[in-house]
Amino acid sequence: MRELIIGKNDAGQRLDKFITKTLRLPMSLLYKSIRTKKIKVNRKRAEAGQMLAEGDVIQCFLAEDLFTLGKKNADSKTVVAERELKSLAGELKIIYEDENILLVNKPQGLSVHEDEGARANTLIGYIQSYLYKKGEYKPDCEQSFAPALCNRIDKNTGGIVIAAKNAEALRVMNEKIRGREIDKFYLAAVHGIPKPAEDTLYAYLTKDERTNTVKVYGKNPPRGAKEIITKYRVIARRDDEALIEVELLTGRTHQIRAHMAYIGHPLLGDGKYGVNRDDRRRGYKHQALYSYKLRFSFSDEAKTALDYLNGKEFSIPKDEIYFAKEFFK
């Protein structure tokens, strides 16, 4: 029999989710073990969806070779991860940091996660390495948690990304994002001058997973299309181009790029929803889009560990964004 003690970063999750992350048991064996009381919580019969609290003790009456296999797999992953954490030297542009979260200015061209085709050389890799070297992230002491991103932006879009240092911060921030309690603002350079100079656009969007592209519809959208709401404001003009501030009222894949192209104003440098041949000659290697400002606008419905952030706003100066500063020369 083995015992697993629930720590601070393990609490607040379902029993089955915790066991899956920690022991890596086959799903069929996991649920059978819970059902037949070979996995208990505080020596009592447990349910798969039971929420764990700090200090709970999980008793696992399983064959020793299952623990050996799980531990071996976990250790080999941890060793590789720690080796990479020690050697990573990616530069982080930190906008804000406290004991719970990090706000980082992600450069264009950097993937946020390894599922975008990279491995450790990703934004989350650099963040975990940074916290590891500071002594704030100790993989050997964690059973089911690692510092994680709360939001993500495309590889070729730059801007503010939120990272959580602990499980409670991750849970709260994810709830706030789902509840649209964080206001997100982007800067974009577009072809043409949008008219009117300020507007809120409503449309519908579908995504083609095969090509990783989206299509925008006005009236009579196809079944399964999702509503998109995009608010923009022209803040500078240069010849037949405009710098706009965009507030995302919904957050769909490629929403800003596709919605602006749909109304006839594709982003500079955007070859997916516009023609960027001439833009590239001018030095636009990526779409001219930057997540430059966010504001925490939490509701007062429930107290959380992150309430001290409510009302705070963080931004990247416009003169630090290459395409934006061109409009103010």
Among left, alpha and beta (phi > 0; psi -120 to 50; other), residue 142 is: beta
Question: Amino acid letter at 224?
Answer: G
CA 124 vs CA 61, 102, 115, 238: distances in Å: 36, 11, 11, 36
Q: Return the H-helix or E-strand segment holding 132.
A: helix 123-134
CA distance 38 to 30: 9
Output the six-digit token pair for 141: 């002491």
Backbone angles phi, psi at 326, to 5 degrees: -65, -25
Question: Per DSSP, which regions of 114-240 are E strands?
Answer: 148-149, 158-164, 182-191, 198-208, 213-217, 226-238
Asked if residue 167 lies in contact with residue 145, where contact means CB atoms within 8 angstroms, the answer is yes
Residue position matching structure tokens 């399983």: 62
* Three-class DSSP category at 92: coil
Partners of residue 57 on adjacent β-strands: 5
Give bridge partners of residue 207 from the DSSP assignment.
214
Amino acid at 31: Y
Catalytic residue among 154, 199, 208, 300: 154
**Is the bond preceding 196 in cis, omega lying within 30 degrees of 0?**
yes
Residue type for 254, please? H
Please confirm, yes or no, whether 154 is among the known catalytic residues: yes
* CA contacts within 13 A on the Cβ side of 18: 31
- Catalytically active residues are 154
